[in-house]
Structure 1
Amino acid sequence: MLERPHLYWTPCATHCVDLMLEDIGKLPMIKNAIKKAIYMNGYIYNHVAVVNMMRRFTNQRNLHRPAVTRFATSFITLAQYHKQKNNLRKMVTSEEWIASKWQKDAGGRKMTSIILQDTFWRNVLYALKLVGPLVKVLRMVDGDKKPAMGYIYEATDRAKEAIAKSFGHKEERYKEAFEIIDKRWDCQLHRPLHAAGYFLNPEIYYDNPEGVSCQEVEKGLYESIQRLVRDEATQDKIMVELDAYKNATGLFGNAMTIRHRKMKSPADWWSCYGSSSPNLKSFAIKVLSLTCSATGCERNWSVFQHLHTKKRNRLA
């Protein structure tokens, strides 16, 4: 980076959020819930008869659901268990289960005791309250619907607000999880580039201009302009054009422009309606079109590994 001072280095957002989930998953209550859910998953899906019985009680619903990352999969599986709590309890207390050989098996008895434990379900609910909003952030940054650069800054704040609200703002319940989130956020995703994307996203900015125009966000915007735009004359033009964006004057105040703030992706919106501020438009599109995650590339590489393995190359 010393050789290229006009560029930013940012880590993969999907990987960063996944590390948050991994660290939260190490909290004792959550670790205990995941461990028991993994055990039950293994026991149920290793016995075809138990799988069929489970599906009859859950209306053909599965308990295991793959997700973007391994840790997201664990928490989404916990969510499935929570949804099927009553059906699973009906299964292990039914005459069919009691009469089956699984009730007499040591593994089956262990699974039954877990399903009937109130502490297990309390731990599952606690885990879902902590990580549910973060899984939504993970889906957003890994999605293909719209570039996440203009949304990730706000998404993390909203996730924390949702977690606090789910616990009735009792800080002792989520304090440790917040420390984990802040630790990852501050060292990996708290970058001027994300602040600039947040400020230049019309969907967010015009809904709450006073909240977006805070010192931290504006500082990130100005640092990004100085770093990505090397010509000082162009920097000055961008700063002048920024006033038109803030005050929604010129094309920014057009009725159709206002209507499309939430209908178009941020980069497309600037491409369509930023002509009256050409220098700011070019900068905004550059920032808002950036990719936050490397998972798309990783998927391509994983497919490539199936086609070109060491063994196959040696045979060739």
Structure 2
Amino acid sequence: MKKGKTIVKYFKSHQVPSAILKRYQNSNYDKKISLKLPVKTRWRSSAICLNSLQLNQLAIELTITELSRNQTVRIDDDVKSIILDDGFWKDVDNLLKVLNELVIGISIFESDTPCLSKVVDWYYNQLESSVYVFDIVGNNIKNIIEKRWESIYHPVMEEKNGVFVNKLAWETAGKVDPITWWYRNFSYSAPELTQVAKKVLSIPTSSAVSERNWSAFAYIHDKKQNRLRADRVLKLVYIFNKENIDGRSIDEIQTPDENVESDYEDECSSSESEEESFNDNETDDSDVSS
């Protein structure tokens, strides 16, 4: 990761290499694909940084080759050795595969409808994934996942007695929502445990949804619109969120599992990094006073 940041910083701080890189980007990709630095405030920025390097690999190598023949421009020896090292680009590919898996998982857990029941499925899929066998970093991450798996899914939990031996119930376990599954099969035979399962499985996996909701409130009730009553703010936030949903087509409204991967790929491939923002339309003073 440090080597990747070194390359990005070099092109961002040197005008001539940056201009040559843009020329090769236009000739090979017909567009400019900007190099992006990872930042602490965006958890997926490390994967986006490596993805931008991967997309620009050919243009970067051609740029360094041309600069090596140019006697008037001096190239940093460390940057040159990193770019011309095939092992570095293999490490980028392997690390990006690992980070993509983690990014998709975090995106699911920070979606609008996250619950603890999805965590078990994600962990199980990671144990079966082959992206962690390429290098030492991947193996270390898989070891961490396995330790977590052992702590949340003990073999004792596989033992079934009494009403939980129902084969029909377990055949439908992966086809319906976990909370619905508990209510359909055990609401009468194990009512207390069903209530516990409902509360546990309904726990959100992160506070991302609440933070997005707070951002919507901050956008509606800002310094200019600070005289709005609480009930009016609630109505405006509801309308604001509903307009965001209605503005999309039916095909775009999918479950988090279906659209999270495509959203991440779109962000990685975009030429300009887009920060999450709200509509720039401001309410008139007359509307506020009313």
TM-score in terms of structure 1 length: 0.49
Which of 82, 105, 123 aligns to 2:74? It is 105
Look up the equivalent residue of 2:206 and give its one-letter code.
S
CA contact (8 A) 2:35 2:52 kept: yes
Which of 112, 115, 119 aligns to 2:83? It is 115
Aligned to 2:56: 84
Tell me by how many angstroms 1:266 deviates. Answer: 4.4
C-alpha change, 1:118 and 1:294, in structure 2 (3 Å) is same
CA contact (8 A) 1:133 1:163 kept: no
Look up the equivalent residue of 1:274 and give its one-letter code.
R
SS at match of 2:90: helix
Matched positions, count: 213
CA contact (8 A) 2:178 2:201 kept: yes
TM-score in terms of structure 2 length: 0.53
C-alpha change, 1:38 and 1:68, in structure 2 (3 Å) is closer
* Ranges in structure 1 where 5+ consecutive residues have no aligned partner: 1-33, 196-213, 223-238, 305-316
C-alpha change, 1:303 and 1:119, in structure 2 (3 Å) is farther
Q: Percent identity?
A: 25
1:62 counterpart = 2:34? yes
Q: How does 1:230-245 map to 2 (within 5 A)?
A: 240=163, 242=164
| Aligned mates of 2:3, 2:37 — CA distance in 1 | 16
CA contact (8 A) 2:8 2:37 kept: no
Which of 159, 165, 168 aligns to 2:126? It is 159
C-alpha change, 1:45 and 1:130, in structure 2 (3 Å) is same
Root-mean-square deviation (Å): 4.7
CA contact (8 A) 1:137 1:155 kept: yes
SS at match of 2:203: coil
| Aligned mates of 1:266, 1:165 — CA distance in 2 | 29
Tell me by how many angstroms 1:291 deviates. Answer: 0.9
CA contact (8 A) 2:95 2:137 kept: no
1:291 counterpart = 2:204? yes
CA contact (8 A) 1:274 1:281 kept: no
Aligned to 2:151: 190
C-alpha change, 1:275 and 1:94, in structure 2 (3 Å) is same
Aligned to 1:247: 168
Q: How does 1:1-150 map to 2 (within 5 A)?
A: 34-47=1-14, 50-51=17-18, 53-56=20-23, 57=25, 58=29, 59-64=31-36, 72-94=44-66, 104-107=73-76, 110-144=78-112, 146-150=113-117
1:217 counterpart = 2:181? no
Look up the equivalent residue of 1:91 and give its one-letter code.
T
CA contact (8 A) 2:64 2:80 kept: yes
| Aligned mates of 2:62, 2:9 — CA distance in 1 | 20
Aligned to 2:184: 274
C-alpha change, 1:154 and 1:78, in structure 2 (3 Å) is same
SS at match of 1:151: helix
C-alpha change, 1:165 and 1:62, in structure 2 (3 Å) is same
Tell me by how many angstroms 1:72 deviates. Answer: 3.9
* Ranges in structure 2 where 5+ consecutive residues have no aligned partner: 218-290
Tell me by how many angstroms 1:36 deviates. Answer: 1.0
Tell me by how many angstroms 1:297 deviates. Answer: 5.4
C-alpha change, 1:141 and 1:67, in structure 2 (3 Å) is farther
